[in-house]
């Protein structure tokens, strides 16, 4: 009789802790890491929140900027479909607007259950950009080779210079259009020697500087040329003031103006790059609360007790 009472007590303990363990450990949230060290302030933070029990999850987004005293919520609450799915927090210039490091995390809530907190990701923002190189010149060495000379600006930011080429006055400028590049610091003379595909044909060049955060300067190059970049939405072109653009992202939309070597009209680039997100995989998801560990510990203890008591019960029956 005493043995049965102990067995009943153990089953009661399991009945108390097993539901809590199931609720706490059954759902999870994970935040993906976007590209760090970038001049972009419009991007998406992708997260995955899942619940095998098919309940509805509400996700909230939080950020802390370089001048913030603590984390604050941004964007709207994300009410996911039952069971959860992948979604994102929208980051824009109202959230990221000062150079420095930004930290982000998300929370997942289910009514009547514990609130889970995701991992924290950091993003470095720097959009100051390098200055446009100067002293551009082009020399035709022979029917097949050109020598391009330039000098980088004394800006303390330039880390490399990129060269672009075309056989027309319209030169495509973008991450996928770089003909060649060289690592070079500020206030230094540099040159490219380039062999063209068709000897004897006229080719035109422009170049630009890039900093350590992948911000690009304006462009400088052959007279009467214009630069543009084709994206999935089409090709755009215009003339504007000198500015820095971000090279980060899967697609860059860049708009440039005309360039003269005599300095009568400055080169210019303006525009933005598309969103860059990193989607986490569900396989690496995990609960981020310490409560799960506590529940697991009690569940293990209760399971050991129950196993011991069941074993003793079986032995007692056999001895009879």
pLDDT at 147 over 50: yes
From the number of C-beta atoms within 10 Å of its C-beta (0-12, 13-18, 19+), residue 10 rates as: buried
pTM of the complete model: 0.50
Give the integer Cα–Cα distance in Å for 39 and 83: 36
pLDDT at 148 over 60: yes
Average pLDDT of the residues in 2-11: 56
Cβ atoms within 10 A of the Cβ of 215, count?
23
Average pLDDT of the residues in 24-52: 83
- CB contact set of 152 (below 8 Å; sequence gap of 6+): 130, 133, 158, 161, 184, 185, 186, 187, 188, 190, 209
Average pLDDT of the residues in 10-37: 65
pLDDT at 84 over 70: yes
pLDDT at 289 over 60: no
pLDDT at 311 over 80: no
Which stretch, 238-242, 279-283, 311-315, has highest mean pLDDT?
311-315
- Give me the pLDDT at residue 63, please: 96
Average pLDDT of the residues in 144-148: 96
Q: Which is nearest to 32 in space by CA: 73, 76, 87?
A: 87
Q: pLDDT averaged over the chain?
A: 75
pLDDT at 87 over 50: yes
Choose between 292 and 81: higher pLDDT. 81
- Give me the pLDDT at residue 109, please: 95
Could you tell me which residues are beta bridge partners of residue 255? 228, 270
Res. 266 pLDDT band, cuts 50 70 90: very low
pLDDT at 257 over 90: no
Give the integer Cα–Cα distance in Å for 165 and 4: 87
- Give me the pLDDT at residue 281, please: 36
pLDDT at 280 over 90: no
Choose between 272 and 73: higher pLDDT. 73
pLDDT at 279 over 60: no
Choose between 13 and 183: higher pLDDT. 183
Sign of the torsion formed by the C-alpha atoms of 43, 93, 152 and 242: positive
- Give me the pLDDT at residue 128, please: 79
- Give me the pLDDT at residue 310, please: 65
Q: Which is nearest to 162 in space by CA: 150, 146, 145, 154?
A: 150
Res. 270 pLDDT band, cuts 50 70 90: very low
Average pLDDT of the residues in 196-225: 91
């Amino acid at each position: 009789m005493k043995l049965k009472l102990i067995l009943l007590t153990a089953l009661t303990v399991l009945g108390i802790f097993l539901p809590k363990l199931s609720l706490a450990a059954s759902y999870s949230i994970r935040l993906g890491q976007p590209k760090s060290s970038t001049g972009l302030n419009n991007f998406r933070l992708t997260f995955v929140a899942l619940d095998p029990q098919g309940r509805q999850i509400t996700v909230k987004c939080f950020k802390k900027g370089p001048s913030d005293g603590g984390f604050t919520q941004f964007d709207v609450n994300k009410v996911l479909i039952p069971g959860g799915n992948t979604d994102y927090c929208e980051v824009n210039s109202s959230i990221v607007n000062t150079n420095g490091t930004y930290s982000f995390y998300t929370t997942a809530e289910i009514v009547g259950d514990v609130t889970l907190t995701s991992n924290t990701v950091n993003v470095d923002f720097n959009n100051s950009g390098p200055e446009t190189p100067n002293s551009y010149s082009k020399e035709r060495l022979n029917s097949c080779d050109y020598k391009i000379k330039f000098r980088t600006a004394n800006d303390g930011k330039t880390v490399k210079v990129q060269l672009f080429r075309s056989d027309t006055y319209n030169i495509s400028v973008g991450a996928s259009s770089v003909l060649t590049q060289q690592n070079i610091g500020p206030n230094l003379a540099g040159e490219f020697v380039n062999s063209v595909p068709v000897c004897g044909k006229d080719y035109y060049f422009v170049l630009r500087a890039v900093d350590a955060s992948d911000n690009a300067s304006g462009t400088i190059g052959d007279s009467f040329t214009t630069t543009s970049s084709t994206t999935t939405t089409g090709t755009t072109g215009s003339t504007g003031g000198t500015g820095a653009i971000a090279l980060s992202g899967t697609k860059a939309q860049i708009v440039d103006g005309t360039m003269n070597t005599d300095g009568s009209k400055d080169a210019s680039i303006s525009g933005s790059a598309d969103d860059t997100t990193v989607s986490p995989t569900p396989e690496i998801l995990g609960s981020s609360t310490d409560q799960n560990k506590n529940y697991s510990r009690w569940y293990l203890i209760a399971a050991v007790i129950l196993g011991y008591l069941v074993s003793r019960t079986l032995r007692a029956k056999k001895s009879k």
